[in-house]
Amino acid sequence: MLQNRNLYQLTISKNVRKITMTHPSPLLQTKNLGKTYQVGEVPLVALHSVNLDFFEGELVVMLGASGSGKSTLLNILGGLDTATTGEVFFHRNTLALESDEGLTLYRRNHVGFVFQFYNLIPSLTAEENVRLVTDLSKNSMSPLDALTLVKLADRKDHFPAQLSGGEQQRVAIARAIAKRPELLLCDEPTGALDFKTGRIVLEAITGINQGLGTTTVVITHNESIAQIADRIILVKDGTIVSDTKNKHKKSVSEVSW
């Protein structure tokens, strides 16, 4: 079983203070990770010998073209998919040995997901969409607090059809972080948005990373977005081409594409 997480005691206020992380060991780690799909009689290698560490509180951007394997890697990190070879460790505990129930609990209690498409339920308000997650979590914040963090408290009673694309994505982010996950995984979160709206969404993501200390991994094909990262990982043909610290990190307001 996964060892108990150290739960953050967070009070929502106007000035949310970033939590200082002091643990030297990785929050998440992969060892010789590989993934092969069988397409008819032909094996398709999506990932090959991936070795990565993800540390508490950092913002990582994984860059790669479509088909590079970055989404496959993200799904394995989040427990949505399993590797063919190798292992994933969370707080030094292997996920490969977890039962289906264990992986479900890992996703429910420790991981938040943000996808390119918002996956909101049309018949529910913004607040009700967030409450779907908080009702299942043991240490969740209130839906209104989560919406406040993404600056949408005044839109809590609006249905998805009454919200812009950027607002819907911010509701999706609020839903992802309402359970106070240790890990936030974002798959092309600005892919369906224009530049101006994409910036607002990135501000929300970096605000969560800085305000709550949530380890955040963003995958994208947009090289400009990598400028906001603490670390940049380049993925190509299922392998890690480079893994470098960003020495010239920029704020979202300084980035354009």
Domain hosting 166: range is: 28-254
pLDDT in tens, the chain (257 residues): 444 443 333 333 334 444 444 445 799 999 999 999 988 888 999 999 999 999 999 999 999 999 999 999 999 999 999 999 999 999 988 886 667 888 888 998 899 999 999 999 999 999 999 999 988 877 899 999 999 999 999 999 999 999 999 999 999 999 999 999 999 999 999 998 999 999 999 999 999 999 999 999 999 999 999 999 999 999 999 999 999 999 999 999 999 98
Distance of CA 62 to the CA centre of its chain: 11
How many distinct structural domains can be found in the chain? 1
Query: Residue 9 falls within a domain, yes or no?
Result: no
Asked whether residue 208 is domain-assigned, the answer is: yes
Residue 80: what residue type? L
84 class by beta-carbon count within 10 Å (0-12 exposed, 13-18 middle, 19+ buried): middle
Instruction: Report yes or no: 215 and 165 within 8 Å, Cβ to Cβ.
Output: no
CATH code for the domain of 221: 3.40.50.300
Q: What is the pLDDT of residue 5?
A: 40
Q: Is 144 a member of any domain?
A: yes
- Residue 182 placed within a domain: yes
DSSP string, 107-145: HHHHEEEE-SS----TTS-HHHHHHHHHTT-SSPPPHHH
Gap between the Cα atoms of 116 and 234, Å rounded: 20
pLDDT for 98 equals: 64
pLDDT given for residue 211 in this prediction? 93
Does some domain include residue 11? no
234 found inside a domain: yes
Starting at the edge strand that comes first in sequence, how are the strands of the sheet with 59-63 ordered?
111-114, 183-187, 215-220, 59-63, 231-236, 239-245
**Domain annotation covers residue 124:** yes
Q: What is the structure's pLDDT at 241?
A: 97
The residue type found at 64 is G
Stated pTM of the model: 0.86
14 belongs to a structural domain = no
